[in-house]
Chain A
Amino acid sequence: MSLKVKKDANRPMHRDEVSKWQWTWKEMKKNKTAYFMLAPFFILFIVFTVLPVFLSIIFSLTDFNMLQMPNWKGLTNYTRLFVEDEIFMLAIQNTIIFACVTGPVSYLLSLLVAWFVNELPPKIRAVVTLVFYAPSISGQVYLIWSTLFSSDAYGWANATLMKLGIITDPILWFQDANYVMPLCIVVALWTSLGTSFLAFIAGFQIVDRSMYEAAAVDGIKNRWQELWYITLPTMRPQMMFGAVLAITNSFGFGGVVTALCGFPSVDYAAHTIMHHLDDYGGSRYEIGYASAIAVVLFIIMFGSNILVKKALSKVGE
């Protein structure tokens, strides 16, 4: 047998032998199937998710209204947003309040409940998980809150307060600027133990039991220390995933408000950027202006994701 290497056209080329582009091209041809398998999803993804983002940025610099040819307007839409539009300022304020409350609270609540659930025996665990998870998958079940807090005496909240003699006339919960925001936050939190909650439950379960035993020998004294030094660092990837979802949801809750309080909400008390976007894009067809609103919302969402990711990388250090 000869040890001489045969010159073989099909021999895989080594990366150093060819230029970078040639190598890439060869790899691409070799993996044709990979691209074919990716293509259907990827094309739809580009058309319906990526393209809209770029279109928003372009439209936001014009006065496009779906009827006439758009004119280039530069940054006029943005100056109008931030200088002239007082309702937008209110919307930004409400959005930030809402996101700053529901985002962290729902995240911590999911983590806390998942941790507690994990301490339960497996059979009870499944039931308790269902109780906490059910509101988030049950669609418009949150409409029941409009019955519980209805504006007449047949609502549970009014009936209870009236029976206790605290109030004499029913409170118009979802039509009162003082109550709208807190109530919507409660309802949003109630529906917020969703996908990230399940990811946390799973995260707690994949931690290796022997790590806890080793830790106990090394001087971990209670479950808090166990959580901070062992569990959380192990499930950091799940926490990252959960954080992304929590942020996304905390900015996208507009539907709940519209369903409970109508649109526009009383005195714009629960008016968010999402509603503003809906108003100009969906009802007034001022696409250029609406796109500017969308771009602002994009920047806020993206910025908060980056900040939170930075903060989370410090967990357990």
Chain B
Amino acid sequence: MAMKEKVVKLRTRGHRVVLNRSAGGDTGITVVLTLLGIVMFVPMYYVVIQSLKPLDELFMFPPRFYVISPTFDNFADLFTLMSDSWVPFSRYIFNTVFITICGTLGNLVFASMAAYSLAKLRFPGRNAIFQLIVTSLMFHSTVNQVTHFIILSAFGWVDTYLSIIVPSMATTMGLYLMKQFMESSVPDTVLESARLDGASEFRTFLIIAMPMVKPAWLTLMIECFKSLWNSGSSIYIHSEELKTFNYAINQIVSGGIARSGAGAAAIVIMMSVPIAIFVLNQSKIIETMGSSGMKD
């Protein structure tokens, strides 16, 4: 039987042949991404612009998406604005930083040890424990907050830093990502040879396994950091001097338009930290996420 010969024209990008990519499709993707990107970007951009506007520009009608004479007054105002409250503004910042650092470091240490043990050691109960942890990912933590409160008050931790720091050390998301990453990127043979050389299990973990999973540390840290840094008014904290920066932002923003410049300035300070961390570590975080998959 004679086959009709089909002429295949291959599209190229630079010198590389690209398969199955039509020019129309490429255009469509660019258009959709641009439109969605604008929706995502404009509010972020607007916060920055608002934070740089002097008072008279904040009251301009219609509101502008650019600033005529940018000023840092709003950032300076933050400190004077809150000076009449009982707690100096810097205290809120300190609280957020302190809680975030303690919780994140604790989570890194505890979750890495647990992840190593679940990923690389064979012991009875291992699968059951991991299943329990995966199941916990399915629940949003706020659903627990009422009974959580009772447990914290039984410990006498209500209205202390401990009520936020200690529970955050057992955040399961970081453990999950760390465990999956260790499983895929720490070869058993390397660990085995360390053990044969007489290294204890803990030493093997610390000297051999941990340096191999640095990308996962970062991911774990940013996951934990993200939730702690952004933790707002907790129902476990009543004292003004223990409240976080986010709580202060809420207070400022609820003050209405006169304070919207200061509010925007506070939000800018707040968001610049996680964004900077992400920008610096993007490739490592994505590398970790490559092994985040869940088996059915």
Contacts and interface: CB of A to CB of B under 8 A. Distances in A.
**A and B: real partners?**
yes
Interface of A: 24, 27-28, 30-31, 33-35, 37-38, 40-42, 44-45, 47-53, 55-56, 59, 66, 109, 112-113, 116-117, 119-120, 126, 128-135, 137-148, 150, 152-156, 159-160, 162-163, 190, 193, 195, 198-199, 201-203, 205-206, 212-213, 216, 220-223, 225-226, 235-238, 240-241, 244-245, 247-249, 251-252, 254-255, 259, 274, 277-278, 281-282, 287, 290-291, 294, 297-298, 301-302, 305, 309, 312-313
B43 A202 contact: no
A308 B123 CA distance: 31
A150 B257 CA distance: 9
A221 B93 CA distance: 56
Q: Is the interface of B mostly helix, strand, loop or mixed?
A: helix
A172 B146 CA distance: 33
B296 A138 contact: no
Contact of A154 (B59, B122, B263, B274): B59
B264 A301 contact: no
B21 A241 contact: no
Contacts of A237: 292-295
A144 B114 contact: no
B43 A135 contact: yes
B249 A134 contact: no
A91 to B, nearest CB: 13
Contacts of B250: 140, 143, 259
Given A27-B124, A252-B142, A254-B142, A138 B271 contact: yes
B166 A140 contact: no
A147 B282 CA distance: 30
Given A35-B123, A139-B270, A131 B40 contact: yes
A109 B79 CA distance: 40
A28 B123 contact: yes
Contacts of B122: 27, 31
A237 B296 CA distance: 7
B143 A277 contact: yes
A309 B124 contact: no
A159 B20 contact: no
A294 B274 contact: no
A125 B140 CA distance: 31
Given A33-B202, A291-B146, A255 B166 contact: no
B221 interface: no
Contacts of A240: 293-296
Contact of B43 (A28, A148, A206, A297): A148
14 contacts: A24-B124, A37-B113, A38-B114, A116-B29, A117-B33, A128-B33, A159-B61, A201-B286, A216-B20, A237-B295, A238-B294, A252-B142, A255-B142, A309-B296
A48 to B, nearest CB: 4
A182 to B, nearest CB: 15
Please provide the 3 A-B residue pairs with the shortest distance between their CB atoms, ordered closest to farther: A237-B293, A252-B140, A281-B146
A159 B62 contact: yes
A132 B40 contact: yes
A44 to B, nearest CB: 4
Interface in B129-169: 129, 132-133, 136-151, 166-167, 169
Given A240-B293, A291-B146, A146 B253 contact: yes
B175 A41 contact: yes
A287 B286 contact: no
Given A41-B114, A48-B170, A249-B140, A143 B40 contact: no
Nearest to A201: B286
A126 to B, nearest CB: 6
Contacts of B169: 41, 44
Contacts of A49: 136, 141, 144, 170, 172
B295 A290 contact: no
A148 B138 CA distance: 33
A147 B42 CA distance: 13
B143 A252 contact: yes
Nearest to B42: A148
A130 B281 CA distance: 11
Contact of A37 (B37, B116, B223): B116
Interface in B40-98: 40-41, 43-44, 46-47, 50, 58-63
B19 interface: yes
A244 B166 contact: no
Contacts of B287: 202
Contact of B132 (A50, A141, A144, A226): A50
B43 A55 contact: no
A97 B167 CA distance: 31
Given A27-B123, A287-B150, A297 B19 contact: no
Contacts of B41: 131
A35 B111 CA distance: 13
Contacts of B43: 135, 141-142, 144-145, 148, 190
A140 B250 CA distance: 8
Nearest to A286: B146
A223 B59 CA distance: 49
Interface string B105-120: 0000111011011100
